[in-house]
Amino acid sequence: MNILLLGYGKMGKIIGEIAESRGHHIVGKINIDNREDLSMLDPDTIDVAIEFSQPDAAFENISWAINRKIPVVSGTTGWLEKKPAIASLTLEKETAFFYASNFSVGVNIFFRVNRFLAGLMKDQKDYKVTMEEIHHTEKKDAPSGTAITLAEAIIDEIPSLRNWKLAEDASESEKELMITSKRIDPAPGTHIVRYRSEIDDIEISHTAHSRKGFALGAVLVAEWIKNKNGVLSMDDFLSF
Residue intervals of the chain classified under CATH 3.40.50.720 are: 2-103+212-238
Q: Does domain 105-207 have CATH number 3.30.360.10?
A: yes
Where does the pLDDT of residue 77 fall: very low under 50, low under 70, confident under 90, or very high at 90 and above?
Answer: confident
pLDDT, greater one: 46 or 141: 46
Q: In terms of pLDDT, which residue wins out, 136 or 82? A: 82
User: CA of 124: how far to CAs of 120, 121, 155, in Å?
Assistant: 8, 5, 14
Our answer to whether residue 139 is catalytic in this structure is yes
Active site residue 226: no
Please tell me the least confidently modeled range out of 71-85, 94-108, 166-180. Answer: 166-180
Using the predicted structure, report yes or no on whether residue 71 has a pLDDT greater than 80: yes
Q: Is it the case that residue 199 has pLDDT exceeding 90?
A: yes
Distances (CA, A) of 81 to 9, 55, 58, 78, 91: 23, 11, 11, 8, 18
Q: Name the catalytic one among 135, 165, 191, 206.
A: 135
pLDDT tier for residue 171 given thresholds of 50, 70 and 90: low
Average pLDDT of the chain, as a whole number: 94
Checking if the pLDDT of 7 tops 60, the result is: yes
pTM: 0.79
**Span 97-144, pLDDT tens digits:** 999 988 988 999 999 999 999 999 999 999 999 999 999 888 878 899
- Where, residue-wise, is CATH 3.30.360.10 in the chain? 105-207
Q: 186: cis peptide before it, omega within 30°?
A: yes
Dist CA 228 CA 100 (whole Å): 16
Class of domain 2-103+212-238: alpha beta
pLDDT surpassing 70 at residue 37: yes
Residue in 139, 165, 191, 206 annotated catalytic: 139
